[in-house]
A = this chain, B = another copy of it.
């Protein structure tokens, strides 16, 4: 469904947002511990998220990653997924046809379309803020 890269990326973003909401910058090391991910690999993913400006980083002592309140409120799951895994999740034919189209549909296209639309709605409507609050309120976990 999602690549591991993407899974780590989402969990890391949620944790960074949570810390940012408490006014704190977070180090890679702490992030990797808290989301139970390989540190060096997570570093690569965070670099990517910095480049697309979903999160911010600062080097040096007391450096680390953070997210602006604006970004926390406006960033949706879909942006993270698209940045890391691309558009396949919204576009790709379930049966692997080179194009997914209602005009030349595969054998499950018509049944699958609404399910996929629900999935896309989930991604585009779920904000990082919402997820971070879920963690804060202990309604969800990150590891």
A105-B140, A109-B140 known; A94-B126 Cβ under 8 A: no
Which residue on chain B has the smallest CB distance to residue A135?
Answer: B107
Contact A77 B108 (CB under 8 A): yes
Q: What copy number does this chain have within its complex?
A: 2
Chain A residues close to B by CB (< 8 Å): 1-2, 4, 7-8, 10-11, 14, 77, 89, 92, 94-97, 104-109, 111-112, 114-115, 118-119, 122, 126, 131, 134-135, 139-143
Give 19 CB contacts A-B under 8 Å. A1-B1, A1-B89, A2-B94, A7-B94, A7-B95, A7-B96, A11-B96, A97-B141, A105-B139, A105-B141, A106-B141, A106-B142, A107-B131, A107-B134, A107-B135, A107-B140, A111-B122, A115-B119, A118-B118
A109 to B131, CA, bound (A): 11
Q: Give the distance to chain B from A110, nearest Cβ to Cβ, in Å.
A: 8
Q: Give the distance to chain B from A114, nearest Cβ to Cβ, in Å.
A: 8
A4 to B96, CA, bound (A): 7
Residues of B with C-beta under 8 A to A2? 94-96
Residues of B with C-beta under 8 A to A14? 107
Residues of B with C-beta under 8 A to A107? 10, 14, 131, 134-135, 140, 142
Q: Give the distance to chain B from A73, nearest Cβ to Cβ, in Å.
A: 16
